[in-house]
Chain A
């Protein structure tokens, strides 16, 4: 798509200079949640699977990454990768059980499993329970480069994010991605074409879990701590909100959604409860009035304008015929 290439050409230089103008930790938080929201959109937007407990992959990987960095000399990128792999395996186990039920039931099963995982993290000794896991070191990148400085680390996070978004883009635009969308739209038909929809969905679930894990591992290294909050239910809800606000099943939607919600949270942090209430209000407004989300509505608007221009063009073309 030429347009997305054009957008990428504008976005990348902006992202490169961003830390000179904005607080780098906020930017890194946004990037982590961009990856997380993309992973969620792969599931809900492109496969029609509503996972209501995505935080278990995010928070779980944060703990695993943190634990590895604290207890082993493993380099940073490998630790994050291990976090992702852990989440992928967790996704495989839970997916195998949950994919047997569909729709809302799937959502509730994933919610219950995430609570299960939450309690396990609460009671295991390595996570630090209610106190969380503190002082996670940022081991040298590739065992060579020191990334303890936030303004340097930003570029590492940015690189990982770009790779993840690119992978997400490739998945969605691959033949497999097409099958995934077909399963979402008409599962019996896909089945009649000789695909096994359960396996297609399970793969999507595992891929999404892995990506959410990488996001979580990254967040643990950004903040240098991992807490129960990362694995808790409000985070699962927040990522739903980001995806829905940005636009379900759109490529760039989750990116905008994550940016808007993180900045809003940042802005409303001092107002306590109002942050949650505003999230509820935004969710309601999006559901009732803008179900296509931010990017989806813009897309529809652009298509509408293009359609009108095309329509007037055909009328113009007809004009001479009518006058003659």
Chain B
């Protein structure tokens, strides 16, 4: 196809990029949902993703609970932690400058990551692949588990989008985002809605963590290293739009994968390069049409 670069390598990197993109998309979707509803940039998102993976690891190693139950239990536990955080920390800060909630979530991330590191060390812990084997696609060997991750993340993203754009609950959410006072007068408990939103976004991060555990190693820093990329994704996609976050997430995953083929040295900066160009051309974010924040 291109001089000196085999189709095999190209398609292989596109697929690997798609897997990374799945994580970018799911994490940035959670961030955007939380930001859209509460105007909080959740800096704990990375730590909560890491906690999801650690929960799965702990369940397996201490209670013998395997991957499939963990896929439900671990995000639920992380979501509960999120709800606790929202009630004791974020709600009292809600009326203040957004900077305070941002820094508070960052402080929590520091504490959580530090404590996990003290308990389990900084080296990664392995997590067994629940779906061994793979399929030969002709141009590369594709492990089944990675296919499962991509499929699962697409379903989750589409499902969440449908939930928010096409259900009554989603309508409440969007209405409360526009005008909380009016929604409150209709008898809807807006604070509870916010708590649930935060719990949901955080749960998504936890779910991501469980999905990631068999691919990447379970380590305390797995979240913080991913988060800055995810923040860039959110900025590029436009802060208010779920579709923007998801599409940008997959797109950047693939762009990153392709860069690895053509110019490997630039792979780690290509997302930020992309962000610079996007900011220059469309400062409001490439997918934000109606949102004017």
Contacts and interface: CB of A to CB of B under 8 A. Distances in A.
A123 B265 contact: yes
A107 to B, nearest CB: 7
Main secondary structure of the interface of B (DSSP, over half): helix
Interface string A99-132: 0110111011101110110011011000000000
A276 interface: yes
Interface stretch (A10-18, A144-152, A210-218, A280-288): A280-288
B198 interface: no
Interface in B245-293: 265, 268-269, 272-273, 275-276, 279-280, 283-284, 293
B107 A97 contact: no
B102 A107 contact: yes
A273 B107 contact: no
Given A116-B276, A273-B117, A287-B93, A108 B41 contact: yes
Nearest to B92: A288
Main secondary structure of the interface of A (DSSP, over half): helix
Nearest to A248: B99
A7 interface: no
A173 B106 CA distance: 32
Contact of A277 (B114, B232, B283, B284): B114
Kindly name the residue among B39, B89, B107, B111 whose own CB sees the greatest number of chain A CB atoms within 10 A.
Answer: B107
Interface string B232-246: 101100010000000
Given A97-B276, A105-B239, A280-B114, A287 B108 contact: no
Contact of B99 (A50, A122, A233): A50
B63 interface: no
Nearest to B102: A104
Interface residues of B, number: 42
B220 to A, nearest CB: 9
Contact of B107 (A108, A233, A272, A284): A284
Contacts of A115: 228, 232, 272
Kindly name the residue among A111, A116, A123 whose own CB sees the greatest number of chain B CB atoms within 10 A.
Answer: A116
A98 B272 CA distance: 13
A172 interface: no
Given A115-B228, A233-B228, A281-B111, 5 more contacts: A98-B279, A101-B235, A109-B235, A276-B114, A283-B110
12 contacts: A44-B99, A101-B235, A105-B239, A109-B279, A116-B273, A116-B275, A123-B269, A273-B117, A274-B114, A274-B118, A283-B104, A288-B104
